[in-house]
Chains A and B, each alone.
Chain A
């Protein structure tokens, strides 16, 4: 890619240019070095599952059409797809398991630095999980809740409990197709078993299990992760923060928390406020004290709960270091590039891995222990302060934007209806009257194969212009934040008239930041509550909503996409980032056949403007089917008729 056009965001491009001048390679350079990438891999027709292989299918029909075991392109592609979905499910769910373990330790008094911050949510979850609450202490209730949740991962019988949050017809559909997930770990293990050599060799059966595995993520592990984190760390409420590299400060000790699990980062935030450590930082020469900022989804978690600034999304991890002002970066899990080590060696940043699940050669390992988490965090903050003196050249962009984040299925309801009448009614009404055409989810990563941040933000602009309310999570959220789409005072100018009117009345931006990628399940719950509110059909698949992930990179994005599709949504992916095109039959099922089964489907489109049009067409189709696009004549009721209205 042209070195001058790697990023649509100026701050990132400036630092990329600086890295080129510093002769330091970055993600984009490494991508250039990998080009051209293997066509068999891009099409998903390479099988490395057994040692009779590796086998490849000739996509043009000239060479072999089956592997050594006889598996054809359909089986190979479906197996690769299933394994990717299983890996994505594992990532979110194992994150959930870690939270559940800390949750239980907190209830037992073994993690003294943590407490249960959202009591009301604890009680609500307890009720959902049929845990008795009357006359019991929070710790007792939490212990039972945590135990039930942890059991969801490995229980030997029964199905996932959280599927009950879905509309009834959806639950029945999953039962009918036999995809209601059982224990989360079981679905992942079965996915690996089915896809070993010589087991499941029917692409439809493999894809069906991919659906069940993804549902174990979306309506299981990932959903539970968000719920428990809300109780432990407090449920997000809309609040202001700042986004982009400009949030780093020249005169402060800058600490970046990067990854996905906020368990230790929560403590680092607390440690950074410690007056002793602040004093120590000032003494070390940092007049502004300690500044904590985030990268990737740990950033989303902390901004939505504590207003902690975000330095950037996935592709900013190396750039942040190259600014020369990051004194320490604490790494937890997922999306942490090994390339950081090389970049950190060129600048002065100290890296630390903080969980036993992730260690990297060349990075100091300081694992978090529940029993003294705050001490660990303080130790890391001290190391950051000690490293402040080692700074050399600084190249810090000034760009930053205000972002309002913290929207969840709960908080959206509160801001719409107020504390005493929290309700989705105003949203449903405005969708029904057409001021808001529908809802779009923009989710996912940052991929160096496309101009950084361009597609997410263009898609968001195109959708709000067409009066579609946008919900966003993960790195897409941060991209939107950098381009002021999360700032009501700026973004409303780009919204269509109807959407702007509603957002102005409520006081929100037309793009709502809903948290990290594990928080995508909040959208499923919100969707279910919108259905329950009435007027927009009986099931999620009837809602005028569509999702898109145009810059995907990880297997997690596939798991998310698959559980959204199986929950009834249209999900648009970029064609060149969907490595399964090598089987016509698999693709036909994913973009067509699956709609007959679950009401949702995949679509492939790389161009953000065309993707917006595709999503709007889908939304209008759903509106037509609901009958809400028809003009209704205003009826003037008599008092008697009014009394008889069933509302």
Chain B
């Protein structure tokens, strides 16, 4: 997987803009004013979970060895290549819920009509045309980012180095 959604929990204000934008990006009209009376009702694939003084937006991590994929009895959950997101085929999914049990993050939800399961598809239609996922665009504080996986550790190393350097300076 080349890019992943990462979250800076310290920046999340729990406004739930990501949830709204996600539901909107996956509905028929994709227009806020028109989306309200749609059937089936738009549904988000990201959930902001509150925990103590922090809130964490949680969505599918697109695991490399995805447990949901392993347990799916109809092979509805697939990924085309290592760099592609894990996707659910709505036609193949029977809504058995095994994947919901298997997911270690709670990132999977039954659809509003109860007949299948939905989860983050990494906004595949948007990313194919060069746009970041809807939750990333919607986040007003930049807490949710769409980053190259290889950069995540490199960036984290730089922050760690800066912290150590600062503490040495202060000594």
Q: Which of A55-63, A110-118, A265-273 contacts B (4 or more CB under 8 A)?
A: A55-63
User: Is A42 located at the chain interface by the 8 A CB criterion?
Assistant: yes
User: Is A576 located at the chain interface by the 8 A CB criterion?
Assistant: yes
Chain B positions within 8 Å of A576 at CB level: 32-33
User: Is A575 located at the chain interface by the 8 A CB criterion?
Assistant: yes
Contact of B20 among A39, A61, A581 (CB under 8 A): A39
User: Is A43 located at the chain interface by the 8 A CB criterion?
Assistant: yes
Contact of B36 among A36, A40, A56, A59 (CB under 8 A): A59
Min CB distance, B123 to chain A, in Å?
14
Contact of A61 among B16, B21, B41, B137 (CB under 8 A): B41
User: Is A582 located at the chain interface by the 8 A CB criterion?
Assistant: yes
Cα–Cα distance between A58 and B20 once the two chains are bound (Å):
8
A39–B32 touching, CB < 8 Å: yes
B33–A62 touching, CB < 8 Å: no
User: Is A584 located at the chain interface by the 8 A CB criterion?
Assistant: yes
Chain A positions within 8 Å of B16 at CB level: 40, 56, 63
- CB proximity to A under 8 Å, residues B128-144: 137-138, 140
User: Is B42 located at the chain interface by the 8 A CB criterion?
Assistant: yes
A39–B37 touching, CB < 8 Å: no
User: Is A38 located at the chain interface by the 8 A CB criterion?
Assistant: yes
A62–B17 touching, CB < 8 Å: no
Chain A positions within 8 Å of B41 at CB level: 60-62
Cα–Cα distance between A576 and B31 once the two chains are bound (Å):
10
Cα–Cα distance between A395 and B90 once the two chains are bound (Å):
58
Chain B positions within 8 Å of A582 at CB level: 36
Cα–Cα distance between A61 and B42 once the two chains are bound (Å):
9
B37–A62 touching, CB < 8 Å: no
- CB proximity to B under 8 Å, residues A30-51: 36, 38-40, 42-43
Cα–Cα distance between A575 and B137 once the two chains are bound (Å):
23
Min CB distance, B106 to chain A, in Å?
15
- CB proximity to B under 8 Å, residues A575-606: 575-576, 581-582, 584
Residue of A nearest to B44 (CB): A62
User: Is B70 located at the chain interface by the 8 A CB criterion?
Assistant: no
* Cross-chain pair count, CB within 8 angstroms: 49
Looking at chain A, what size class is its interface with the partner chain?
10 to 19
B32–A42 touching, CB < 8 Å: yes
Contact of B32 among A43, A56, A58, A61 (CB under 8 A): A43
User: Is B160 located at the chain interface by the 8 A CB criterion?
Assistant: no
Min CB distance, B6 to chain A, in Å?
20
- CB proximity to A under 8 Å, residues B80-127: 112
Interface string of B1-32 (1 = CB under 8 A from A): 00000000000000111011101100000001
A581–B15 touching, CB < 8 Å: no
Looking at chain B, what size class is its interface with the partner chain?
20 to 34
User: With A39-B32, A43-B32 given, is the CB distance from A63 to B138 under 8 Å?
Assistant: no
A38–B43 touching, CB < 8 Å: no
Min CB distance, A584 to chain B, in Å?
7
Chain A positions within 8 Å of B42 at CB level: 60
Interface string of B48-83 (1 = CB under 8 A from A): 000000000000000000000000000000000000
User: With A62-B43, A62-B44 given, is the CB distance from A581 to B33 under 8 Å?
Assistant: yes
Contact of B112 among A38, A39, A43, A62 (CB under 8 A): A62
Cα–Cα distance between A575 and B32 once the two chains are bound (Å):
11
Min CB distance, A336 to chain B, in Å?
26
Cα–Cα distance between A58 and B23 once the two chains are bound (Å):
10
Residue of B nearest to A604 (CB): B33
Cα–Cα distance between A584 and B38 once the two chains are bound (Å):
13
A39–B36 touching, CB < 8 Å: no
Min CB distance, B14 to chain A, in Å?
10
Cα–Cα distance between A582 and B20 once the two chains are bound (Å):
13
Cα–Cα distance between A60 and B36 once the two chains are bound (Å):
6
The residue in B36, B43, B112 that gathers the most chain A C-beta atoms within 10 A of its C-beta is: B36
User: With A62-B23, A584-B37 given, is the CB distance from A38 to B140 under 8 Å?
Assistant: yes
Residue of A nearest to B17 (CB): A38
B15–A38 touching, CB < 8 Å: yes
- CB proximity to B under 8 Å, residues A57-79: 58-63
Min CB distance, A321 to chain B, in Å?
29
Residue of A nearest to B112 (CB): A62
B112–A40 touching, CB < 8 Å: no
Chain B positions within 8 Å of A59 at CB level: 20, 35-36
CB-CB nearest 5 A-B residue pairs: A39-B20, A60-B42, A60-B41, A61-B41, A60-B23
In the assembled complex, 7 residue pairs joining A and B whose CB atoms fall closer than 8 Å, in A order, are A36-B137, A40-B15, A59-B35, A62-B23, A576-B33, A582-B36, A584-B37
- Contacts A59-B36, A60-B23, A63-B16 aside, 18 further interface pairs with beta carbons under 8 A come to A36-B17, A36-B21, A36-B137, A36-B138, A38-B17, A39-B20, A39-B21, A39-B24, A43-B36, A60-B42, A60-B43, A61-B41, A61-B112, A62-B44, A62-B112, A575-B33, A582-B36, A584-B36
